[in-house]
Amino acid sequence: MSKIAILSPFSEFTKMLRNICLDNDQDTIEVVEAYGDEALHMAQQLENTGFEAIIARRFTAAQLGENEFSIPIIDLRINELDLLQKMHKIISRGYKKIGCIFYSDELMDYDFESFEEILGIKLLPLPYHLPGDDIEDQVQRALKNEIEFVLTTGICIARRCVSSGLRVEVVYPRKSSVIMGIQRARETIAINKQYLEYNRRLQKIINSARDGMLVVDSNRVVKMINPVAEKIFNAEAREVVGKTVDSLDSQLGLFSATHRKEEDKIIKFAEKQLVIKWAPLDADTSLVWGTLFIVQDVTEVQRLDQQIRAENIARGLNAKFELNHIRGNSEVLQNIKTEVKCYAGSDSTILITGESGTGKELIAQSIHNISNRKKGPFVAVNCASLPETLLESELFGYEKGAFTGADRHGKAGLFELAHKGTIFLDEIGDCPVSLQAKLLRVLQEKEVRRIGSDKIIPIDVRVLAATNKDLLSEIKNRNFREDLYYRLNVLSIKAPPLRERKEDIEELSNLFIEKYRKKTRKNVPFFSREQIKKLSLYYWPGNIRELENFVERYVLLYTGDESADDLVDRFLVSSISREDFHIKNPEVLEIRVGTLEEMEMQIFVKLIEGHKLDKNKVANMLRISRTTLWKKLKQVGYNIERQTVN
C-alpha cells in the first residue's frame, strides 16, 4: 500500500479530490489544501512524515521540482477531453473568443489549432512563467484582444481576471485525470522502491569490495563511495556524495571527462601512490551517464601480490615432502639419499626413473626442498593425465583469444609459474612426440612463448622429470626424442622397487599402520616378525603404494575375530591371485624371478589357485605327498583349511 499526498489549491477541488479518494482502498491518500509558498512548506512536512509521493497541479509541481525532494512529485494534468468539455459549455453560452491563461509548460500539452478547427471558435493561448507581473501581462493581452471568456488553471489568476472585468472559469482535472495521476504516483513509487533496492544492493557490493570505488555522474558529481575509498582519500561519504569529484582530487575530474576506458594510471595523493582504473557507465546505450573509478593504494597492491604468491603455494605450488620423509634404512635407499643431497646443489636437469609407486615425486620434492630454490614455487604436472592440446596450453600458457574457449585475459603457463623455482614433469615418457620438440627448446633456451603470442618470456626454472618407462626402448620405437632424453638425463636417479629394499618393509608397514590407526581410531596390532617375513616373500609389483593399500585394508578389516596371521595370509594370497594367476596354458606356469623361497611361494600358490584347490591333483603334478604339499604351503603362509574347496 502506497502513501500518497495530493495538494489542492482551492476548496472546490479539495472536496472533489476527497470524494474520489473515498473510493480508493489500495493506498493511503491525504488531500491537503495549500498553494504557493504554503504548498512548498506543506510538501516538506509531508516528506518528513513518511509520504512516498506528492501529487500537485502543474504549476505547483514545477515549483516543488525546483527544490530538493527525495520523493517523487507527480504533476496532475488536465486531459484534452476535460478541456474540450469545458470549452463546449462556454460556446453553448454564446462565447466565441476564448483566452487560455495557462502555465507555459501546460499549454504545450494541447493542440489549440485543432481545437479551433473542431469547435469553430477563436482561441488565444496566454502562457505565464511566473506569478506576478507575468500574469498581469497576460490579463492585459486578453483585454487588448477583446477576449470574451477566459479559462485558467489558477485561482489567483481567476480573481485577477474578475477584478479586470473578464469573465473567467477555473479548469481543473476531473475524476479520470485524478485517478490517472494516482496510478502514475503508485507506479512511480514502485519503480522508486526497485531503484532504492537496486541502489542498496549496489552500495552493498561496492562497500564489500577490497578496492576503493567511486561512482561519478556525467556532471562529475560523486553518487557513491565505499569505505575503502573513504579511507584512501581520508574523507567521509557525507562530505563527498553530492559534490564534484574534483573536491577529492582534480586528476579524477580530468579522468572522468575522457568518457573512455583507460589503462591503469598512477597518481600521487597526499603521501600515497594510488593506482587508478576507470570506465564509462553507459547503461547499454551510447549515452554516458557516469564513470566508475577503482582506486588502489600501491602498498596494498604489493601486499596483495605477496598474498597471491602465498595462496599459490597453498594451492599446491609447493613441495610438501622433505628428505626425512623418504623412510627406510636399506643400503640402496641410503645411496638414493646421498644422490639427492649431492644433486640438490646443482641446477642441472634430473631424470628420475622407477616403477609406479616407488616414490619418484617424493624424491623430486626432497631435491627442491634442500636446494637453493626451496623458497620458490614447486610446480608439478602429470604429462600423461592431459590431452596434447591442453598439456601444451598448461605448460606454456596462452594469450587472450588464442583459441576457442581460452580465458579472455589469457593465462600464464606452468613454466612461468615455476619461475625461480622447480618444475616437475611427471610421466615424461607419455609426453606426445609433437610436444617434445617445444619442450626441448624451452630446456635449451630457458624461455617460453605463450600460444598465440610472439613475445618471448625468459624463465629461470630447474627441471626435474620422472618416468616409469624405459626411455631408451621408447627412443628405438620412435616414441621419444633422443635429443630430449639426453637433455633431461644430465643427472639421473633410479628409485628402487620395494622388492630390492625388503629390509624397509617393516619400517614402512609400521608407518602406515600408525597412520591408519589414527584415522580409524582402532588399536590394530603391528605386524609380527613372522608376518613381515611373509610380506618379504611377496613380489610387490605396486611397490610402496601397494604396501600402503595392503596395510589400509588390514587396518579396516581387522576386528579381532580373525587372527592377524590369518588376515595377512588371506590378503597375501589375494594379492598374488590378482597378480596374474589364471593359467592361460596348463602346461606353462609363469613366475617372477626371485629367491628360491619366493619362487617356491609363487609355484605352490599359483598351482593351488589355478587348479581350484585340488590338493591331490597339485601333489601328483609335483610328485610329492599331500603332507609335503601342506608343509610347503604352511611355510609360505597359505592356510589352505580356510579356503573354500570345490
**Domains, the chain, ranges and CATH?**
3-77+178-185 (3.40.50.2300), 80-172 (3.40.50.10660), 209-302 (3.30.450.20), 323-496 (3.40.50.300), 504-642 (no CATH)
3-state SS assignment for residue 606: helix
Average per-residue pLDDT for the chain: 83
CA max distance for the chain:
146
pLDDT digits (tens, 9 = 90+) for 584-605: 445 666 777 767 776 777 777 7
* Mean pLDDT across 624-640: 70
For residue 277, what are the β-bridge partners? 294
Residue 644 has pLDDT above 70, yes or no: no
The pLDDT of residue 484? 94
The pLDDT of residue 371? 93
The pLDDT of residue 304? 64
Which has the higher per-residue pLDDT, 635 or 449? 449
Confidence grade of residue 643 (pLDDT, cut at 50, 70, 90): very low
The pLDDT of residue 546? 92
Question: Of 476, 468, 395, which is closest to residue 428 (Cα–Cα)?
Answer: 468
The pLDDT of residue 203? 83
Which has the higher per-residue pLDDT, 454 or 306? 454
* Mean pLDDT across 150-163: 89
Confidence grade of residue 645 (pLDDT, cut at 50, 70, 90): very low
Strands 28-33 and 222-225 come out as unpaired
Confidence grade of residue 331 (pLDDT, cut at 50, 70, 90): very high
The pLDDT of residue 587? 62
Residue 420 has pLDDT above 50, yes or no: yes
In angstroms, the CA 2 to CA 215 distance is 30
The pLDDT of residue 235? 84
Give me the phi and psi of 427, to 5 degrees please. Answer: 55, 45
3-state SS assignment for residue 294: strand
- Helix residue spans in 446-494 (DSSP H): 471-476, 482-488
Q: Considering only 93-107, 128-142, 295-309, which range has the smallest mean pLDDT?
A: 295-309
Confidence grade of residue 150 (pLDDT, cut at 50, 70, 90): very high
And the C-alpha cell for 144?
A: 487588448
Q: Considering only 259-263, 385-389, 436-440, 508-512, which range has the smallest mean pLDDT?
A: 259-263
Upper half-sphere CA count for residue 245 (Cβ side, 13 Å): 27
Residue 383 has pLDDT above 80, yes or no: yes
Residue 363 has pLDDT above 90, yes or no: yes
Confidence grade of residue 361 (pLDDT, cut at 50, 70, 90): very high
Residue 574 has pLDDT above 80, yes or no: no
What one-character DSSP code corresponds to residue 53?
A: E
Q: Considering only 26-30, 189-193, 470-474, 598-602, which range has the smallest mean pLDDT?
A: 598-602
Residue 612 has pLDDT above 60, yes or no: no
The fraction of the chain above a pLDDT of 70, given in percent, is 86
Confidence grade of residue 641 (pLDDT, cut at 50, 70, 90): low
Residue with cell 593506482: 275
The pLDDT of residue 22? 83
Q: Considering only 117-126, 187-196, 409-418, 436-445, which range has the smallest mean pLDDT?
A: 409-418
Residue 300 has pLDDT above 50, yes or no: yes
Residues 6+ apart with CB under 8 A from 44: 69
Confidence grade of residue 309 (pLDDT, cut at 50, 70, 90): low
Sign of CA dihedral 431, 432, 436, 438: negative
Residue 311 has pLDDT above 50, yes or no: yes
**What is 188-216 written as a DSSP string?**
HHHHHHHHHHHHHHHHHHHHH-SSEEEEE
Which has the higher per-residue pLDDT, 468 or 596? 468
Residue 307 has pLDDT above 70, yes or no: no
pLDDT digits (tens, 9 = 90+) for 250-282: 666 555 555 555 556 777 777 778 888 878 877
- Helix residue spans in 49-94 (DSSP H): 58-65, 80-92
In angstroms, the CA 242 to CA 220 distance is 10
